[in-house]
Amino acid sequence: MSPPDCYHCGLPCPAADPIRMAWKGEERSFCCPGCRAAFELIVASGLDAFYRQRTTQNAGRPEELTAREWELLHSPVFQAHHVRATVEGEVETDLLLGGIHCAACVWLNEQVLQRLPGVVYARVNFSTHRALVRWRAAETTLADIIVAVRRIGYRAEPFDSTRLPARRQEQSRDLLLRLGVAGFGAGNIMTIAVALYAGYFQGMASQYKHFFHLVSWLIATPVMLFSGWPFLRGAWNGLRLRRVTMDLPIVLGFLITYAYSVQVFLAGQGEVYFDSVCTFLFFLLIGRYLELAARRKSSQATERLLRLEPLEATLLRPEGPTVVPVTVVGMGDRLLIRPGERFPVDGVIESGSTATDESPLTGESLPQTRGPGDAVLAGANNIDGAVTIRATGVGGNTTLARMARLVEAAQNDRSPLQTLADRVARHFVATILLLAALTLAYWWSRGAEQAWQHAVALLIITCPCALGLATPVAFAVASGTAAQLGILIKQGIALEQLAKADLIILDKTGTLTCGQPDVVALHPTPGMPASRLLALAALAEQGSEHPIAHAIVAKAQSMAIVLSPVDATTLRNYPGQGVEVVGPEGMIHVGSRAFLQPFLVEAATEPSPDSHITWVGCALNRKLLGWIALTDTLKPDAQATVRQLRAMQLEVWLLSGDREAVVERVGSAVGVDRAKGGVLPEEKERIVRAEQAAGRRVVMVGDGLNDAPALARANVGITVDRAVGLSVVAAGVALLNPRLEMLAILIQLARRTMRVIRENFALSVLYNVLAIPLAMTGHVLPVVAAIAMPLSSLAVVVNALRLRRVEHRSA
């Protein structure tokens, strides 16, 4: 049973859990909280006649669209959901495409979209199968765009994140079914092929040989038609637009081999190669499934991490706080944000005070105190105080949304090297087709059977498998080796770019430093033991969830200080300032100087004005006991890693959103070539873009959301251990190993990988240079070609396996 359509927007609801509510005695279904909230607002406003006056006019509907789809695509409500205006006066939308299998599919869809009247921009993301299309509304419609894609054999529909899991499952099921059919056919037909090969060399009765040929034909035919369908469709779609894709040589290989084998079977003379058709498709589908699995992991993480913005918010209405979808929050609305929640929109605090964790957004490692009049950012964490804010940026106008758009735009930028294999294969295929035609013509005068044998032998033995495997197999082995070292490579192009990099840009917080405050010094007042100062401070802080409190308690525990319990009813938390608690010896206050001053008999001053240190004071019964210094400490191997990178002839920069003095101190400590602080996310991205324009290949290493635009813009983006949010999405590489030295090891591996790829291309070319003349001159029979063809791929794979050995030295 198909899922019901959403009563508001008309899209199919999630099959597993549609949102339902009763209205006018009937149950209505909705696809998301936003649609239900919009429905409630329309009904509350007395405009429910809108739902009874939908047009069902279908005049001019193309056959590619159902009546329901045609109605939806022309519905103002549906348009408002999926089509947005741009500052240039155009409109744009995101489409989810089905049937995308390779780079040629991406190119084909882009070409079709860009040729439509009024379309000014079309870019398909191969990893997510999403297409961003921008057009002039006066010249074309969303329906025209979707129809154009469907007419070339691909599915297209407006993007809806709730439908992604079902689409992924459908794609996996289809590919696994085709792979299973090919595997079943290949396994069975090979048992027959063994007998036929033996009969070829030792002799076999004609009736048995003919029977084995018949069974092979019956097995190979459904395998070719069903398992080979994705390749057949891809090749046909390319030819319709006069485009030679990587699917074409694959299709030519198994179609001609199949046709030749059928001709041999019907003639009753010669050898058939149905087994080559089945095994060829089986191994190709295995490669395609492995590629899909790798992209699936990346895209699932992408969709999960893009949901940093909360789905719901607590809206303050006259009748009281109401939880609503964040999509209905408007500019100027008042929201209640409780401790532990994430800010759903950009806003200004109207009442209350708190400490916020903005490190994913700004790079500032320590919590920030925020009170009335202070701005807060969507995506930041509210640590320890309830606040009321007024929304100043919602939806696409939040800082989070702007960063997400920067990431998407940078990810869609392509390197020319991404199409290198396709270009080489296109010329290779054209050359082989010409040579096969010449071979057929030359030998035709000596007999059609002999001519077809030599032409098929040429097509089989020169199959571009080795050429196609030269790069992906090296990337696969290198990725596996990296994974064993705790390095996740999400984009194969990242290795190619890493090998050519000449500039490494490092973020500070969480990259060179640990990313959490740590107690670095104790400054007790005269006569006060340092251990007693720490013990009393930890006693007060053990009931707080603030990161500084955790650091103080952890320091006390590391010094084997036993903390006695306190009466939780006496604990009073001042969000973003400090804590007050009644201990065994009296009243304890722990917090900043501004917090402590009203409780002290005498004025208090921090021991040092050093800007990179956070000072926390501790007072007992209105008397200052001393100060605790906290800062974000360097990782143990930070200095050694920078030194090793520079020894590899790489320039190393440090860019951070933290304070200038702090960044300069860290840069000096680790020995970078350049250090700059106070750099906003947009400025990081501009710096990367400027260096690229100057001809440099940039590697960006970071862990926070503020790094996401630069990570996406860089030639290679690398996230480090504990990276969060969009930084993980934007990066092509993730260092899961906490040791920063993995960065240097990764670059060494990338350089070795590129050397292996060049060797693989050389092996592939050498193989074809030797094989082509032998096949054209009749020295290679098709049966020998079928055996020799996998050898070229085997040589490439064996050479790539050398990448499993990697030098793993610590600097």
Burial of 595 (0-12, 13-18, 19+ CB in 10 A): buried
Backbone angles phi, psi at 249, to 5 degrees: -65, -30
507 catalytically annotated:
yes
Q: Which ranges constitute the DSSP H helices of 358-447?
A: 359-362, 399-412, 420-444
Q: Rounded distance, CA 717 to CA 711, Å? A: 4
Query: Which H or E run contains 365?
Result: none
DSSP state of 5: B
- CA-angle at 286, arms to 795 and 291, nearest 5°: 95
Beta strands in 503-553 (DSSP E): 503-506, 513-524
Structural element, H or E, at residue 123: strand 119-125
User: How far, CA to CA in Å, does 550 sit from each of 50, 517, 541, 746?
Assistant: 55, 9, 8, 34
Cα angle 631, 632, 638 (rounded to 5 degrees) comes to: 135
Q: Which residues contact 753 (CB under 8 A, 6 or more apart)?
A: 474, 475, 478, 495, 499, 803
Q: What whole-number distance in Å separates Cα of residue 701 and Cα of residue 721?
A: 11
Q: Which residue has the tokens 């990276």?
A: 723
Q: Phi, psi at residue 198, to the nearest 5°?
A: -65, -40
Cβ contact 425:465 at 8 Å: no
Q: Helix count (H) and strand count (E) of the chain?
A: 26, 29
- Select from 483, 506, 515 the least CA-distant residue to 746: 483
**Is the separation of the CB atoms in 552 and 542 below 8 Å?**
no
For 19, the token pair is 């949102």
| Distance spanning both ends of the chain, measured CA to CA | 61
Q: How many CA atoms lie within 13 A of 730 on its CB side?
A: 35
- For the four alpha carbons of 332, 335, 337 and 343, in that order, the dihedral sign comes to negative
Contacts of 671 (CB under 8 A, 6+ apart): 639, 642, 643, 646
- Give buried/exposed letters for 44-54 (b at 16+ CB in 10 A, else e): eeeeeeeeeee
Q: Quick one: tokens of 797?
A: 């794979």
Which residues neighbour 507 within 8 Å (Cβ) at sequence distance 6 or greater? 363, 654, 655, 656, 700, 701, 702, 703, 704, 706, 707
The pair of three-digit structure tokens given for residue 763, joined into one six-digit string: 């092996």
Two tokens, residue 148: 């154009």
Cα angle 99, 101, 103; round to 5: 125
The tally of CA atoms less than 13 A away on the side-chain side of residue 762 is: 8
| Token pair recorded at residue 532 | 């007693």
Q: Which residue reads 């920063």 in tokens?
A: 740
Provide the token pair at 466: 């080795």
DSSP state of 15: S
Rounded-to-integer distance, Cα 560 and Cα 545, Å: 21
> Are β-strands 674-676 and 651-655 bridged in parallel, bridged antiparallel, or unpaired?
parallel
Q: Which of 384, 507, 637, 703 is catalytic?
A: 507
Please give the structure tokens belonging to residue 13.
């609801």
Distance CA 363, CA 345 (A): 19
- Closest Cα partner for 763 from 795, 802, 798? 795
CA 109/CA 239 separation, integer angstroms: 13
Catalytic residues: 507
